[in-house]
A = this chain, B = another copy of it.
């Protein structure tokens, strides 16, 4: 295929967003248009349809990815289009792309090939301003912390123990570690701090878990920004910041409606990191879509060990969402990668390596079907270089696992290439399912992490330094033991070592650090290096992104 993503996207035959909405039965007065092809759907309308029957929720997850990614977003889009093609009322729900990576490595993040959401440039660049609202809310709170200290520090905040960081939607490594408040008494107290990318902010996680404006306001108030000298937590509420933060986020909280290349309706809303946060689009988008369509397809970041686990143990547990089935995206590439083939050689046929690598898929499948109790199908996201022998070997391997694998060609063919997948998904959704969790609510934080490590990662146990253990105990003493655990670890391995491919077993998972997200209501367990502020590469994508003579965006890929 010689056409780039943006060429395909700009050639799309979009229908007016008011028509997309009308097909869903959304009345015109409940639509806030942003241009002709994007709109927010009013929260009061979505609240009013909450009593309607719900459609079936389909979770798209994946094997442990290669660095290129295995195509969860394209599969979500392609499956949505295929469901529409076979006559079902379908909708998809996706995360909004972060700007930082758009200017850095990745180019766009709105699907690819013939499986995209459009208008692609808008979705990738500014969209409806949600991320900037989240940045403003985060940075307003930061400014109010330093301002409070500057004006006398009535709350006795310990400047050495402020945990709240500022954010930008730019990949900027120079901002990871900074000293603020320099320049003399007029500028406040110097202290060490740093910036994260917007998607890593707790406000983003809260935004995507909030059930309505009131819940949003309450959660924002719960945020712990730091500690006093005698170690009492200081909340956003104590600074009087959560009302203004809610005001800033009010309009953003309404889900964004767009469409796929084939005019399937799509909510693209919110986008928390899948390591330090839960990696799923907003609860409000997904739960609302279930009242608007019979099938709702959504994805969760990274492989099933991270994305699906958090989808189930954080999002479903706390909100009541219940998926009917799951799609596990696998590629021939990824199976060979897990079978030991180096990245440079992945285009070469190697059935033996592929078969070795299916152990990775097998464990993810066991998680989905065993631990979570969900009917599941494996979608082989087809690439031009895949050989018939490889595809047959993978299909056969999945059959041996007692499951079905379907070849999906949505990237090259759009929804038509994923019709078989859609039919299998419809069949699975009719099966009974009873969602299971990795751990019960009442387990301790340590037990929760242990359960994830043993049941999902195949680890023998978890370890932690005395300091981290003490920190975990302190969080339990403070009443945060009831929260779910959000694991931050590498997406490339079941272990914490990104180089351990396949399905490693019996390893120990070391919890290096624990962070409280009191507003998001989970406890982050950091198991490995996590980067909350990316850097730009030697030749950033920003150097090729431009506007041509006709005012068209070019160079987004």
- Residue numbers of A with Cβ under 8 A of B are 32-36, 40, 43-44, 99, 103, 121-122, 125-126, 128-129, 132-133, 135-136, 139-140, 142-144, 146-147, 150-152, 166, 168-183, 186-188, 192, 194, 213-214, 217, 239-241, 243-244, 246-248, 250-252, 535-536, 538, 540-547, 549, 551, 553, 555-556
Contact = CB atoms under 8 A, between A and B. Distances in A.
Contact of A173 (B132, B186, B244): B186
B180 A175 contact: yes
Given A140-B170, A173-B188, A535-B147, A247 B551 contact: no
Nearest to A535: B147
A461 to B, nearest CB: 31
A179 B176 contact: no
Contact of A125 (B103, B247, B536): B247
Given A176-B183, A181-B174, A244 B543 contact: yes
Contacts of A544: 243
Contacts of A121: 247
Contacts of A180: 174-175, 178
**Nearest 5 CB-CB pairings of A with B:** A243-B546, A177-B183, A132-B132, A240-B543, A244-B542
A14 to B, nearest CB: 14
8 contacts: A126-B251, A128-B129, A136-B170, A147-B536, A173-B181, A174-B188, A217-B547, A243-B546
Contacts of A217: 547
A84 B259 CA distance: 41
A139 B125 contact: no
B540 A172 contact: no
A211 to B, nearest CB: 14
A172 B551 contact: no
Interface residues of A: mostly helix, strand, loop or mixed? mixed
A363 B540 CA distance: 53
A171 B143 contact: yes
A128 B35 CA distance: 11
A232 B181 CA distance: 31
A103 B176 CA distance: 26
A162 to B, nearest CB: 11
A535 B246 contact: no
A32 B43 contact: no
A422 to B, nearest CB: 34
Contact of A146 (B152, B168, B173, B250): B173
Given A244-B103, A542-B240, A542-B241, A142 B551 contact: no
Q: Give the interface centre of A121, A174, A551 by most chain B CB atoms within 10 Å.
A: A174
Contact of A187 (B103, B122, B176, B553): B176
Contacts of A126: 129, 132-133, 136, 248, 251-252
Contacts of A33: 33-36
A329 B151 CA distance: 36
A192 B183 CA distance: 10
Contact of A178 (B172, B179, B213): B179
A147 B540 contact: yes
A540 B144 contact: yes
Contacts of A146: 172-174
B36 A35 contact: no
A102 to B, nearest CB: 9
Contact of A132 (B129, B179, B250, B540): B129
Contact of A32 (B36, B125, B239): B36
A147 B35 CA distance: 34
A291 to B, nearest CB: 19
